[in-house]
Structure 1
Amino acid sequence: MKDCTVYKTMNIIGKRWTIHILLELHKGEKKEKRFNELKRKLGYITPKILSERLTELEIEGLIAKKVDDSIKPPKSEYYLTESGTDFVKIIQAIKRWGLKWKFQNEECERAICMYCDH
């Protein structure tokens, strides 16, 4: 099992809050988001877990961090990489599965995740 691609992939994206973070980075017109903006959007996530997940996602190449150290304190923003953007297609497939088999939600069915406030 240690060489199974599915197991290895789930070790990257299967941790709590990981998919939520990727989806929040996908949402909206603005592609870069700051730490506190993500924390506010995610609600109950602790700063420690958010920091850990952002670091893990950056190491795995799903997100990148842009730092502007020309200002004090330095401003950091996170954004999806090509790999992270590609993974959003999987999140959207999860949504379609949920709508087909588990949840009846007409509003969600009509909504485009990128512009969803939920």
Structure 2
Amino acid sequence: MSVRSVIDRYYECVNAGDWEGWLGLFDEHLVMDEQLAGHLEGLTALRGAVSGIQQVYSRFQNTPRYFVIDGAQACVVSHISATSAGGKPIEAEVANYFLIQDGKIAYMANFHDSVPFAPILEPQPRQARESE
């Protein structure tokens, strides 16, 4: 699969909520530096991050705007439009860097302002215990 094909599929899967398809794009020994989730290594760690994504967002779209591809590397500037599980809107500009090896994402990093993500970073209110 070409670098552009992998990148296009990445955004197709994210926007369709096809997390299994998305996970299939990554090398089993991937390394990811994700601004909110931190440093991740391997598919097991990434699978855990997907679980978190599904819990904190009720809607998540990441629309690519600009692509720069140089050999096995790519940078994509995109716009995230999402809704937190609590119903708060999130709008953010993002840059994703990809290194593709043997048709799989071997390394990925993203860069964005964390302020728009406050609705998912804020501590959630505690639910009252039934006995109270």
Greater helix proportion: 1
Greater strand proportion: 2
When normalised by structure 2's length, the TM-score is 0.30
When normalised by structure 1's length, the TM-score is 0.33
